[in-house]
Amino acid sequence: MTPFGTRLARAVDQRGRFCVGIDPHAALLQEWGLSDDVASLERFALTVVEAVAPVVSVVKPQSAFYERFGSRGVAVLERVVAESRDAGALVLLDVKRGDIGSTSQAYADAYLDPSSPLAADAITASPFLGFGSLDPMVEACHEHGAGLFVLALTSNKEGPEVQRARAEHGTVAGTVLAHLRALNAGADPVGSFGAVVGATIADHDEDLDINGPFLVPGYGAQGGTTDDLARVFGAAARWALPSSSREVLRAGPDVTALRDAALRGNDAVRSLGA
């Protein structure tokens, strides 16, 4: 299969770099005048898919907001994944899984094997049981042409306690980035193994030249700006994917308003790293 990095580069060229989070949390359902139930979840999520999946390069459903409704919520997530991909968007499923051995393999089977009903183009993962714990997911990406975005420098205030701690050859985050750099060596135009780096993190000394993409949460409603993106990423901004959910989703439930909000977001970051 065509590697995720190649497909991502093509999508960014055609549709821009903006990533829309499809996160139907209770407060947004209420803002739309909906109840906090599965029927409303389905209406919300599929309305967003209809609006944005035909025009943005990447959508990012947060699995937890579907899982909280049990099996019926997961069934809605399956539709979100399938219908987004049918509309031409790449699906980055935000699951942040991280475990060892057969459990890590099971996560890889669930989210990266095309035979699974939850198979996405890429997923998020946590490396804090040791980067090698992600090997089954890495191998699945190689086998199926999928992508992996690994937590490195996140924008939550608790993150630096672990991520900026000193390891044997630098910080923990630096070690994660070094592993990703090795996985992406020689990939053209960009590798399939990315990092999650927040738009609002403090200044850092890490080398972000990993020849891979970046998922950039914290942009938009969470305070991150285009100036922050330039500050955090510098020359590596070429492959930064700023992600926003509330900034777009609050424009609903009107489909046209949602689509216009996504297009405005895309225009705001179009020249980033050019």
Question: What's the rounded Cα separation, in Å, for the pair 78 and 198?
Answer: 27
CA-closest candidate to residue 124, choices 71, 181, 176: 176
Residue 52's contacts (CB-CB under 8 Å, 6 or more residues apart) are: 20, 22, 59, 89, 248, 258, 259, 262
Question: What's the rounded Cα separation, in Å, for the pair 125 and 123?
Answer: 7
Which of 96, 164, 246, 250 is an active site residue? 96
Question: What's the rounded Cα separation, in Å, for the pair 221 and 237?
Answer: 20
CA–chain centroid gap for 266, Å, is: 15
Say whether 96 is catalytic.
yes
Residue 244's contacts (CB-CB under 8 Å, 6 or more residues apart) are: 18, 19, 20, 21, 219, 220, 221, 222, 265
CA-closest candidate to residue 204, choices 168, 272, 154, 244: 154
Residue 106's contacts (CB-CB under 8 Å, 6 or more residues apart) are: none
Beta strand residue intervals within the chain, DSSP E: 19-22, 58-61, 90-97, 122-125, 147-153, 166-167, 170-171, 193-197, 214-216, 240-244
Q: Which residues are catalytic?
A: 96
